[in-house]
Structure 1
Amino acid sequence: MMTRAKALSAGWVAWLLAALVLFSALSVANAAGRFDDLLYRVPRSANALLVIDVKGVHSSPLAVKEGWKSQHEASYVKKPMLLPPESDRMILASQMNPNRDFEVLWEGAVVSLTEPLPPRAIARAEGGYVDQIGGVPAVWSPSDAYIVLFEPKLMGILSPAHRQAVARWIEDGEVTRTVVVSKYLKEAADSVDGQKTQIVLALDLKDAVQPHRLEQALNKSQLVGDDAAKKQKWAKIVSSIRGVTLSVQIGRTAQGTLRVDFSESTSPFGKDAKALVLGVLDEYGVGIDELQQWKTRLDGESIVMQGELSTPGMRRIFSLLELPTTNFTAADELPQESPGSSSPSSRTSEDKEKAVVEASQTYFKSVSTLLNDLQEEFRTNRDARRSLSAVFLERYAKRIDRLPILHVDEELLAYGMKVAETLRSTSIASRQAGVRAGVRKAQGAGYYGYRGYGYSYGARYGTSYNDYYTARTRSSEKTQIRREEDAKARQVRFQNWKEIQDATAAIRAKMTKKYKVPF
């Protein structure tokens, strides 16, 4: 009896140990994170991530209803972002400077594919060539990017196309095989579960706050006023900022949760928390109108805002981080190469014209959708948010540059290039309004005019000076200077928008007449 009892006891112990080992393994796997196999390829210097469960997004009721997964629908007509149909998970990463209108130092992506994409097919779709970097197949793209195939179903993209940097990027990932991004970004990536939360955008802002800019902002803040004690408390909290995270839950609608995380309690912000967040987002040029309707609460060391996100709103937000190139998504639409031949198989003239018509319609619809998103930027008179348009105009110009161009009509491409350049010049005008006002306040009231130049529609913001300077500029004069510079930037914005509208109407009529189909 004792022997049998011992045997049973030993059996239970063995079963219990096996269960503990299995539980431990599952816990470790879960702790590792669903995206760690992609995340360890992201360089340490990244301070911004956009983590997307593509499969989860595409299977959501909203995406199914609006056909986000359709390869043949215009890229931006219904979708909030470009998601390669061949992917199931994706991380976009970048190193930005938030103190310089979110200037991008580098940007890249790591994409998990559902099926392999041959390097030669990618090169043909991109209009580039196949390369070999660090023993890994790669493709150089004229979009100023390298596409790297770490594995048959694991793709990396890095821009700019700095070959040496790409080689070191490949080597670092192979050597470390561990996640090296900041703890804040890692925590954000781990929150994407594909079911409740499909998308997370995170920006690590630790040590990003410049003391002199913070002091200037608090000095002019109506929320702080002349309350020195309040100013001191707020300065301490803002200086401790860890980062900002936007989580998106897509069901029948898209719901967003914006968290601004600090290392200090946010209770001193009180009822001013929402106005503070909205003001800072506007000041840094990344404000979204619909956030005005979101509910706000304080949660320990965080400010939390929640509410519904529209598709245009998501397009704006996600323009901060996007794929450096998207032409490779057309690789499977190219004609197959004939056996033993290096050239594509022949197609009839009817097939070629059909491809041109479909690609051109898609391109035009995409540009039109992006312009519709920006329409209010040109119409608004709220110049206190002048930098809002600056950041998004520049990002949308880049979006147009990166639209798939395979088979697109040459005249239509020229139109798109001009539109993108015009958006950039308008962005510059908005940015420089504040800079020029600052110079005039320091030196005296000079004159700043306009000059048109370059390959774009409309006017650009130019500079000329007169010889008159005052010894000092009083407060009222500073206000007047600000208004004058804002008015000039607004004039450029309105003029450029009219030029874009006229050009859009003209190219639509021309393409419709040329191909006998509506555009």
Structure 2
Amino acid sequence: MTNDHVRLFGVLAFFFLMVTAGFAEAGSFKENLIPVPGDANVLILINAAQARQSEYARQLRAEHGGTPIMDQSILSAPNVERIVTAAKLDLATGEPVWELGVVSTTNEPSLPNLAKYLGGRLDTIDECAALQLPINAYIVALGPRLVGVKSPADRQAIAAWARDARTRSDVSVSEYLKEMAVFPEQTGTDLIMALDLSNVVGVAASQAFLTKSKTLAGKNIDIDELTRLLTSVRGATLGVRILDKPHAKLRIDFGQDAAALTPVAKELILEILANQGATIDELADWNVDVKGNTIFLGGVFSTRGLRRVLSLAEPPLPPLESPATFRPSEPASPGETQAVAQASAKHFKAVSQILDDVGPRRRNRDDKTPGEYGMWLDRSARKIDKLPILNVDEDLLDYSGEVSHGLRNISNQYRGAGVKAGTASANTYYEVWGGYGYGYGYDRYNPRREARKQETATAVSAGITSFSQLDDMTAQIRRLMTQRYKIEF
């Protein structure tokens, strides 16, 4: 898996009850959850089979001849039933210590076939069939219809995990994650993304954030009371139920009554998300509610918003079944023009959709930070990296590789702007404050804002130039592919 793949936003969630019921034994997520180590603080559950059967998915298939939210991902495979993704996230840096996915299927995937389809090297780890992938991860057969994928590809650590997963008999994640993980069983939720935040927020950090918060500026709010509330946070969870539309609720759970946040709850959540680089446009239009110890934010995702969420949630694997054109004993011949044309057209469409989702036309909200935009660009590059390549035209593969590389370059420009702006802001702070030891608070804010604006403007200018180059490349490869295969790309 990639380093940022399961990086989860600061606040996520879903709805209603704090259920403490146990897991159903049959047809449930329990077998997917047992292999998850107890130190996980991120847990994602996807009922892939149910999502594919939703009215929303049927509408997309009817309108587009496919499901844009699922095409080219593991969710599109008809043999995939349930997916659990988990991670131990370093919440100070946003980087995972480890990541894994556990996928239950209706049949037993063939690792030799997957090796030919995905690349990699077959292995046996602690008596389990395994496949080392070229993306710093191992696939391990944990059961007849249960496949695990874990990163980093530390063979010794993978062996210990596989052994523990096969001998453990119950779910070992934290109490908060257990409470959230029952929602697919209890409410029919298609997607749950939960983040355990217990003992993460300290008093000093909470006070520092609240004191500088734009949301609270000029408001008569008891900072000490809000500090006590924020330091009691238990976790955050996002739930999505895909019906005629993707209906979602975000919940943030505290250890005490959350009524003090009622006047500013929505704005403060959006500010926290923006600071964490995790703004999704639709959240600004969602409805907020505070009940007991929990804040709820509910609404509907657009197709693009849902794609973004799914890009955070799924393991880094294409479908766990080989496409119809793939015959393991007979590598596809370059002369099979129709197969190559179809695979290439699908590949081009997927890359074009990714570019459309993250291009400069999409970066139109003033409250998005350069670091946040860079995060989505980097994640999009990784989506391109894991697109299936079987039967895809070699020139088109070169193009998609260049697009991935280009997105990473633009991502680095935006992320670098965030770092440079932070450094410039810090330097400005010390110039104003460090030499004298006195002054007024407002003196430092304007220079800090100007530093951010300057670095962001530089990144935006460079990013637009790079996207213009990618647009030119896309137009050129589209013409070439259309001429070569006599179909519209």
Q: Distance in 2 between matches of 1:297 and 1:195?
A: 19
Other-structure match for 1:184 = 176
Alignment of 1:217-232 (within 5 A): 217-225=209-217, 230-232=222-224
* 1:263, distance to aligned residue in structure 2 (A): 1.0
Q: Which has the higher contact order (CA 8 A, sep 6+)?
A: 2
Matching residue's letter, 2:34: Y
Other-structure match for 1:482 = 452
Note if contact 1:89-1:112 (Cα within 8 Å) is conserved in structure 2: yes
Q: Does 1:406 align with 2:411?
A: no
Q: More displaced, 262-271 or 371-380?
A: 371-380
Other-structure match for 1:57 = 51
Note if contact 1:386-1:430 (Cα within 8 Å) is conserved in structure 2: yes
Other-structure match for 1:12 = none
Note if contact 1:60-1:251 (Cα within 8 Å) is conserved in structure 2: yes
Q: Distance in 1 between matches of 2:466 and 2:200?
A: 34
Q: Distance in 2 between matches of 1:478 and 1:347?
A: 57
* 1:77, distance to aligned residue in structure 2 (A): 7.4
Note if contact 1:412-1:507 (Cα within 8 Å) is conserved in structure 2: yes
* 1:83, distance to aligned residue in structure 2 (A): 4.0
Q: Distance in 1 between matches of 2:259 and 2:57?
A: 38
Other-structure match for 2:488 = 518
Q: Does 1:304 align with 2:304?
A: no
TM-score (norm 1): 0.81
Q: More displaced, 215-224 or 153-162?
A: 215-224
Alignment of 1:265-304 (within 5 A): 265-304=257-296
Q: Distance in 2 between matches of 1:33 and 1:325?
A: 23
Per-residue Cα deviation, 1:381-401 (whole angstroms, up to 9, x for no partner): 615533331222221111111
* 1:220, distance to aligned residue in structure 2 (A): 1.8
SS at match of 1:424: helix
Q: 1:86 aligns with which of 79, 84, 95?
A: 79
Alignment of 1:36-185 (within 5 A): 36-67=30-61, 73=66, 82-100=75-93, 102-185=94-177
CA 1:122/1:77 → structure 2, altered by over 3 Å: closer, same or farther?
Answer: closer
Q: Identify unmatched segments of 5+ residues in structure 1.
A: 1-26, 338-343, 446-469
- Between structure 1 and structure 2, the one with the greater Rg is 1
TM-score (norm 2): 0.85
Note if contact 1:55-1:194 (Cα within 8 Å) is conserved in structure 2: no
* 1:493, distance to aligned residue in structure 2 (A): 2.3
Per-residue Cα deviation, 1:395-454 (whole angstroms, up to 9, x for no partner): 111111111111222222222222222222322322332322232234359xxxxxxxxx
Note if contact 2:74-2:317 (Cα within 8 Å) is conserved in structure 1: no
CA 1:33/1:244 → structure 2, altered by over 3 Å: closer, same or farther?
Answer: farther
Per-residue Cα deviation, 1:276-314 (whole angstroms, up to 9, x for no partner): 111111111111111111111001111101111112101
Note if contact 2:277-2:371 (Cα within 8 Å) is conserved in structure 1: yes
Other-structure match for 2:345 = 361
CA 1:309/1:478 → structure 2, altered by over 3 Å: closer, same or farther?
Answer: closer
Q: More displaced, 371-380 or 398-407?
A: 371-380
Other-structure match for 1:502 = 472
Q: Distance in 1 between matches of 2:67 and 2:294?
A: 39
CA 1:64/1:120 → structure 2, altered by over 3 Å: closer, same or farther?
Answer: same
Other-structure match for 1:450 = none
* 1:137, distance to aligned residue in structure 2 (A): 0.7
Q: Distance in 2 between matches of 1:366 and 1:244?
A: 31
Q: Distance in 2 between matches of 1:383 and 1:248?
A: 25
* 1:227, distance to aligned residue in structure 2 (A): 6.6
* 1:29, distance to aligned residue in structure 2 (A): 6.2
SS at match of 1:408: coil
Q: Distance in 1 between matches of 2:204 and 2:402?
A: 38
Other-structure match for 2:409 = 425
Note if contact 1:62-1:253 (Cα within 8 Å) is conserved in structure 2: yes
* 1:94, distance to aligned residue in structure 2 (A): 2.0
* 1:208, distance to aligned residue in structure 2 (A): 2.6
Note if contact 1:312-1:373 (Cα within 8 Å) is conserved in structure 2: yes
Other-structure match for 1:390 = 374
SS at match of 1:161: coil
Q: CA RMSD in A?
A: 3.0
Matching residue's letter, 2:404: A
Q: Distance in 1 between matches of 2:72 and 2:328?
A: 29
SS at match of 1:319: helix
Q: Distance in 2 between matches of 1:377 and 1:151?
A: 46
CA 1:246/1:77 → structure 2, altered by over 3 Å: closer, same or farther?
Answer: closer
Q: 2:461 aligns with which of 471, 478, 491?
A: 491
Q: Distance in 1 between matches of 2:261 and 2:198?
A: 20
